[in-house]
Amino acid sequence: MSNNTLTITDNRTGKTYEVPIEYDTIHATDLRKIKVNPDDFGLMAYDPAYMNTAACKSSITYIDGDKGILRYRGYPIEQLAEKSTYLEVSYLILYGELPTKEQLEYWENRILRHTFIHENLVQLIRAFRYDAHPMGILISAVSAMSTLYPEAKHVRDPHVREKQIWRIIGKLPTIAAFAYRHRIGRPFNYPDSSMSYTANLLYMLDYMNQRDYEVHPALARAMDVLFILHADHEQNCSTSVMRAVGSSLADPYSALSAAAAALYGPLHGGANEAVLLMLNEIGTVANVPAYIERVKKGEVRLMGFGHRVYKNYDPRASIIKKVAYEVFEVTGSNVLLDVALELERIALQDDYFISRKLYPNVDFYSGIIYHTLRFPMDMFPFLFAIPRASGWLAQWMEMLDDPEQKIARPRQIYLGADERDYVPLEERK
Ligand code: CMC
């Protein structure tokens, strides 16, 4: 055997084992041969929350958390945010290469031709209470799409897959806009495929029959950059859910609906909403130091700070801060920005945050931008979900085509009761 191995001595038995190392990783199943008795199950690795477990091999997104690097298919996020568009990045993430001019035209055309939603879905959205959380609508509407397109269950068929991808990426902005218009009691604007992806979204959200209505190009571009930044982030909570549900060969709508549910939580895609709630609670710059003290006492978390992977800085946060200023040039500044800047300033020089490597993450500023664009807070996670659909679908396809993948099925360490006899109700204490 080469030097690329790990030698393990089991002190319970004195036996030594040699396991191969590939990509700085050992196969967890190689540990299974380490046993005390021949009929033992064998050694397992205990890793709650997958802190140090690679669950797949992937060629989509590269992150170096210590150096603050994020690349999609090898391209640095900074270059994509500056030079590309969300739909081009979406193609890149899904198919591995930047599209040619013809490929891009075809791709944009396919997506923008799939923006209309089935009238049943329109009725479904209307059936929600006026104050329904848009993420509840998203999760339900996407899962309902599996009933409208039952052929989607043929997940091994590349043509079927492709069509569902067009549908999902095309229709999510429409569902978002209709969910929003439903809540404010305004008529729905049907999609306009002559506009760009993000301009069409802003139009569907905003248009009220004004003469000479135009979406401000700077705002559409800001949304586009935000979408690029959110398009994928390798094996995060919601992506892992997409892969796990997809591994049972469920159709992509069911898997994506589950991924969206995972994204909804305040520690993940709900963080941008939580940041805004926090900034509103703090209210003024003068209240910032007292709030920081509460964070340090462990009473509350500084939302929009910290990341499981980035322990230096989140490269998306630096780009988004720039976008925030570009948006403010069009809309005028936002009072909450002063509170956010002061929070950031104090936190970045406080030992509590420095020693724990807590820096602003992508959500620290995205919430302020969305607020400035007058999105209600509970729309924020939806605005994260729209672009993340590209990443979810790319990861789903990669999982399906990976011969090493099977249905996801973690192990457990059972610590419950030993076998015991059933006690009749009248004899229980
Ligand atoms: N405010 C205050 N303390 C924090 C924070 C925070 N935001 N995040 C972590 N800590 C502390 C934590 O209390 C712990 O301290 P100690 O060692 O004294 O117990 C230490 O830092 C390590 O925290 P952890 O919870 O073990 O770290 P994690 O890697 O499990 O958590 C996180 C990552 C993102 C869930 C967490 O930093 C957090 O809750 N942040 C706020 C929510 C947020 O902004 N989420 C958006 C993430 S970016 C978008 C996305 O990718 O979904």
| Residue 267 Cα to ligand 1 middle (Å) | 8
Residue by residue, DSSP assigns 193-240 as TTS-HHHHHHHHHH--S-TT----HHHHHHHHHHHHHHS--SS-HHHH
Ligand 1: atom nearest CA of 304 is 44
- The count of other CB atoms within 10 Å of the CB of residue 403 is 5
**What are the pLDDT digits (tens) for 318-347?**
899 899 989 999 998 878 888 998 999 999
- Answer yes or no: is 5 within a domain: no
Give the three-class secondary structure for 325.
helix
- Answer yes or no: is 22 within a domain: no
Write down the pLDDT at residue 309.
Answer: 87
Query: Which residues, 6 or more positions from 271, have their beta carbon under 8 angstroms from its beta carbon?
Result: 303, 304, 361, 363
**What are the pLDDT digits (tens) for 78-131?**
999 999 999 999 999 999 999 999 999 999 999 999 999 999 999 999 999 999
Q: Are residues 177 and 314 in the same domain?
A: no
Check if 307 is active-site.
yes
Mutate to test the pocket of ligand 1, among 301, 303, 366 (most ligand atoms within 8 A of CB): 301
* Domain count within the chain: 2
The greatest distance separating any two alpha carbons of the chain, rounded to the nearest whole angstrom, comes to 83
Ligand 1: atom nearest CA of 306 is 37
| Residue 52 Cα to ligand 1 middle (Å) | 17
Q: Are residues 112 and 216 in the same domain?
A: yes
Q: Give the residue whose CA is nearest to atom 2 of ligand 1.
A: 301
- Answer yes or no: is 308 within a domain: yes
Residue entry with tokens 């039952």:
150
Cα separation of 232 and 236, whole Å?
9
| Residue 260 Cα to ligand 1 middle (Å) | 21
CATH at 207? 1.10.580.10
Q: Are residues 164 and 256 in the same domain?
A: yes
- Answer yes or no: is 51 within a domain: no
pTM: 0.92
Q: What does the angle CA 249 – CA 227 – CA 188 come to, to the nearest 5 degrees?
A: 85
Write down the pLDDT at residue 333.
Answer: 80
Check if 66 is active-site.
no
Task: Give the residue among 315, 306, 307, 317 at the shortest CA–CA distance from 76.
Answer: 315
Confidence of residue 179 (pLDDT cuts 50, 70, 90): very high
Q: Are residues 256 and 190 in the same domain?
A: yes
- Answer yes or no: is 26 within a domain: no
Angle between helices 237-246 and 380-401 (to 10 degrees): 40
| Residue 303 Cα to ligand 1 middle (Å) | 8
Write down the pLDDT at residue 2.
Answer: 66
Cβ atoms 70, 319 nearer than 8 A: no
CATH at 339? 1.10.230.10
**What are the pLDDT digits (tens) for 359-385?**
999 888 898 899 999 899 889 999 999
Tokens, residue 45: 């690795």
Burial classification of residue 234, based on how many CB atoms lie within 10 Å of its CB (0-12 exposed, 13-18 middle, 19 or more buried): middle
Ligand 1: atom nearest CA of 238 is 52
Average pLDDT of the residues in 195-218: 95
Q: Are residues 92 and 226 in the same domain?
A: yes
- Answer yes or no: is 385 within a domain: yes
Q: Which domain holds residue 293?
A: 271-372
Residue entry with tokens 């009761």:
417
Which residue type, as a one-letter code, is found at position 187?
P
Write down the pLDDT at residue 368.
Answer: 87
Mutate to test the pocket of ligand 1, among 50, 237, 307 (most ligand atoms within 8 A of CB): 307
- Answer yes or no: is 83 within a domain: yes
The finding on whether 294 has its CB within 6 A of some atom of ligand 1 is no
Q: Are residues 125 and 79 in the same domain?
A: yes
- Answer yes or no: is 199 within a domain: yes
Task: Inform me whether the pLDDT recorded for 136 exceeds 80.
Answer: yes
**What are the pLDDT digits (tens) for 98-107?**
999 999 999 9
Q: Are residues 224 and 288 in the same domain?
A: no
Q: Are residues 327 and 252 in the same domain?
A: no
Write down the pLDDT at residue 388.
Answer: 98
| Residue 376 Cα to ligand 1 middle (Å) | 25
Q: Are residues 295 and 203 in the same domain?
A: no
Q: Are residues 105 and 182 in the same domain?
A: yes
Q: Give the residue whose CA is nearest to atom 30 of ligand 1.
A: 308
Check if 363 is active-site.
yes
Q: Are residues 159 and 297 in the same domain?
A: no
Q: Are residues 125 and 238 in the same domain?
A: yes
